[in-house]
């Protein structure tokens, strides 16, 4: 079952912040985040493991709440280069590498 | 470092025709995957291979077959193409453990 992402789309001005959420109906072992620009392949951003850790990647960070089966991606002081569609991918079993992806959140940054 | 290479990049098929999508990775990854991407539906797993010699069905395997030829190569075959298989197909690979996927550049397939 696909994780649910929200919002489906968001438009921001440069410098504004955004939060993208990913919720699962199943217990999660780990969550991946990817960004895909139009016409290109998805690119890996980060992985979070159960344990409630938070990770950072430049001005992009994420958290993982395993009790709520949710992860959130935080984009701070957004730049034009952050535009694209963001996908979360969830893994429910340790040792099985396959991911189930959400339907994506389209982020548009305007000057 | 090529990463994951997919061929072809574009293909148009007539209904009922067959074709094979090729994927090769040069990162010595154990796991390889085939996903399809349709508007509004995200990436859906067709088949995956956890290691050389093994393959397993994903969410949407009907109408497809796969072969893990060796550690490097993982091909996807459409035996009798249908318009519902019009999509963008991505191959990906990953190492075992806590690593992200590396995706190929995709194959845009249209079935008419």
Secondary structure (3-state) at A81: helix
Nearest chain B residue to A9 by CA: give it: B40
Q: Which residues in chain A belong to E strands, given as ranges?
A: 4-6, 9-13, 18-23, 30-36, 43-49, 54-57, 60-65, 70-75, 84-91, 100-101, 105-110
Q: What is the pLDDT of residues B61-88, one digit of tens each?
A: 999 999 998 999 999 999 999 999 999 9
Collect all residues of chain B within an 8 Å Cβ-Cβ radius of residue A98. Answer: 31, 33, 45, 48, 56, 58
A78 sits in which H/E element: none
Which of B30, B89, B100, B106 to substitute to test the interface with A, most A CBs within 10 Å?
B100
Structure token pair of residue B41:
């539906």
CB contact (8 A) between residue A101 and residue B42: yes
CA-based nearest residue in chain B for residue A1:
B59
Task: Give residue-wise pLDDT tens across range B1-15.
Answer: 679 999 999 999 999
pLDDT digits (tens, 9 = 90+) for B13-37: 999 999 999 999 999 999 999 999 9
Q: What pLDDT does residue B15 have? A: 98
Q: Residue A88 region, left (φ>0) first, then alpha (ψ -120 to 50), else beta?
A: beta
Distance between first and last Cα of chain B: 36
Tell me how close the Cα of B44 comes to any Cα of chain A, in angstroms: 7
Smallest Cα–Cα separation from B30: which of B82, B77, B85, B70?
B70
CB pairs under 8 A between A and B: 55
- Taken as a whole, chain B contains a residue count of 112
CA angle A49, B89, B25 (to 5 degrees): 65
Per-residue pLDDT at A58 exceeds 80:
no
């Amino acid at each position: 079952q696909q994780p649910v992402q929200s919002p489906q789309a968001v438009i921001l001005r440069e410098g504004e912040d955004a939060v993208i959420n990913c919720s699962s109906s199943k217990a999660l072992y780990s969550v991946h985040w990817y960004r895909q620009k139009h016409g290109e392949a998805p690119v890996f951003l980060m992985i979070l493991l159960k344990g409630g850790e938070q990770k950072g990647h430049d001005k992009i960070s994420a958290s993982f709440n395993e009790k709520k089966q949710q992860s959130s991606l935080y984009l701070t002081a957004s730049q034009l280069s952050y535009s694209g569609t963001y996908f979360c991918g969830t893994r429910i079993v340790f040792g099985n590498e396959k991911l189930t992806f959400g339907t994506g959140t389209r982020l548009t940054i305007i000057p | 470092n090529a990463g994951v290479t997919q061929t072809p990049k574009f293909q148009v098929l007539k209904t009922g025709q067959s074709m094979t999508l090729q994927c090769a990775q040069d990162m010595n990854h154990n796991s390889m995957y085939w996903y399809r991407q349709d508007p509004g539906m995200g990436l859906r797993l067709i088949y995956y291979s956890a290691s050389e010699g093994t393959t397993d069905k994903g969410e949407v395997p009907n109408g497809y077959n796969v072969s893990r030829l060796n550690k490097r190569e993982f091909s996807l075959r459409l035996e009798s193409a249908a318009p519902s298989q019009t999509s963008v197909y991505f191959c990906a690979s990953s190492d075992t453990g806590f690593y992200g996927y590396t995706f190929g550049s995709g194959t845009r397939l249209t079935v008419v």
